[in-house]
Amino acid sequence: MTAYDVIVLAGGAAKRLGGADKPGVRVGGRALLDRVLAACDGAALTVVVGGRRATARPVLWTREVPEGGGPLAALGAGLRLTTAERVLVLSADLPFLGAGTVDALLAAAGQPGREGALCTDPGGRDQPLVAAYRAEPLRRELALLATEYGGLAGLPLRLLTAELDLARVDAGPDAAFDCDTWDDIAAARARIREHGAVLDEWITSVKNELGIELDVDTGVLLDLARDAAHGVARPAAPLTTFLVGYAAARASAGAGPDEAAAAVAEAARKATVLALRWEAEATAEAKAETNAEANAETKPDVAGREETGTP
């Protein structure tokens, strides 16, 4: 797939959040903006239109003219800095946007005759800020709108999307979920703590915080922790997984993510085998002790009678 650029719109007054810094609001321990940036880390160039702030990866910053001029003005400002044939356009408040949705949008935008693709939400409504556009027709329509209206400030996005031949992508209930209110923020925070998602969310947040890129096989590590806790002692679980990580880091120093993942798997395998050996030894010792106690109970007394427990 050819390269693409990304424009993330991170401005706006966030009036429904009481003027809070919406891109910096944390969901699952990560700023909303960083969550969006993580979904499109394969971009050749990432432009963020909004106020500067610390981000998890490098981006190029710009501002719309005038500031607060709305999404079309922001899009125009960002587009001037891009060079790729396709441009991903995203808002900065999408906590559940994933790489799968990004790939689907880019693929749909590349269909013959299409000028772009956008997501639709569960209600069938278009989401033009979860979209991928071909750069040439996007520039053309923005220029026409600027000429017709004397500028882009204050214009609604529907004026742009109405003029483009766009494919629709149904990315499920979460990809287009945006956080406009504190109720939305609360719902997003609750959703990532649901049983089926919390571990993946936590692992992603930890990797982001530590600045590492590694596909973690959580099943292997959880099995290792279980075996260490059961076969050795409960505190052995976290200590063993730490040592496995350290050993894997040493074994894969200077290697890529695939080699690092393989090193983790191999270190976990060795530690698991060791934990199972400890468990087997403990089981054998317990069995031997039980047999010894049983033999002692049936040993003859001084009168030559067996100690059967009866008078």
Rounded distance, CA 255 to CA 223, Å? 25
pTM of the full structure: 0.74
* pLDDT tens by residue, the chain, 311 residues: 468 999 999 987 777 888 888 999 999 888 999 999 999 989 999 999 999 999 988 999 999 989 889 999 999 999 999 999 999 999 999 999 998 999 999 999 989 999 999 999 888 889 999 999 999 999 999 999 999 999 999 999 999 999 999 999 987 778 888 898 999 999 988 888 876 677 777 777 777 777 777 777 778 888 888 888 888 888 888 888 888 888 888 888 877 778 888 888 888 888 888 888 888 887 888 888 888 777 777 666 555 554 445 44
Q: Nearest 5°: phi and psi at 128?
A: -70, -10
How far is 209 from 129, CA to CA, in rounded Å?
27
Query: Could you tell me if 188 and 96 are in contact, meaning their C-beta atoms sit under 8 angstroms apart?
Result: yes
| Contact between 9 and 87 (Cβ < 8 Å) | no
| Kind and range of the H or E run holding 34 | helix 32-39
